[in-house]
Amino acid sequence: MGVAGSGKTTVATLLTERLGITYAEADEFHPQANIDKMRAGTPLTDEDRWPWLEAIRDWLSAEADAGRSGVVTCSALKRTYRDLLRTARGQVCFVHLDGSPELLAERMQHRSGHFMPTSLLPSQLATLEPLTDDERGFRLDIATPPEQLVDEILARAHLRGTAQAR
From CA 78, how far away is CA 101, in angstroms rounded?
18
Secondary structure (DSSP) of 73-138 = E----SHHHHHHHTTSSS---EEEEE--HHHHHHHHHT--S-S--GGGHHHHHHH-----TTSSEE
Residue 114: the pLDDT is 52
Angle formed by the axes of helices 32-39 and 46-65, nearest 10°: 130
The answer to whether residue 142 scores a pLDDT higher than 80 is: yes
Per-residue pLDDT at 3: 87
**N residues, the chain:** 166
In sign, the C-alpha dihedral spanning 138, 150, 111, 45 is: negative
Average pLDDT of the chain, as a whole number:
87
- Cα-trace Rg, the chain: 15
User: Average pLDDT, stretch 131-159?
Assistant: 93
Give the span between the Cα atoms of 51 and 164, in whole angstroms.
Answer: 37
The stretch 8-17 carries a mean pLDDT of 94
For 70-92, write each residue's pLDDT tens digit.
999 999 999 999 999 999 999 99
pLDDT of residue 135: 96
Q: What pLDDT was estimated at residue 112?
A: 59
Q: Is the pLDDT of residue 28 over 80?
A: yes
What percent of the chain is modeled with pLDDT above 70? 87
Q: Where exactly are the structural domains of the chain?
A: 8-159
Does residue 161 surpass a pLDDT of 70? no
Task: Find all residues with CB under 8 Å of 98, minimum gap 6, and list them.
Answer: 2, 6, 130, 139, 140, 141, 142
Q: pTM for the complete prediction?
A: 0.83
Q: Which amino acid is at 75?
A: S
The CATH number of the domain covering residues in 8-159: 3.40.50.300
Give 30-84 pLDDT, tens digit per residue: 999 998 998 888 888 999 999 999 999 999 999 999 999 999 999 999 999 999 9
pLDDT of amino acid 125: 86
**105 HSE (CA, 13 A, CB side):** 9
Beta-carbon contacts of 41 under 8 Å, excluding residues fewer than 6 positions away, are: 117, 119, 120
pLDDT in tens, 120-134: 778 888 889 999 999
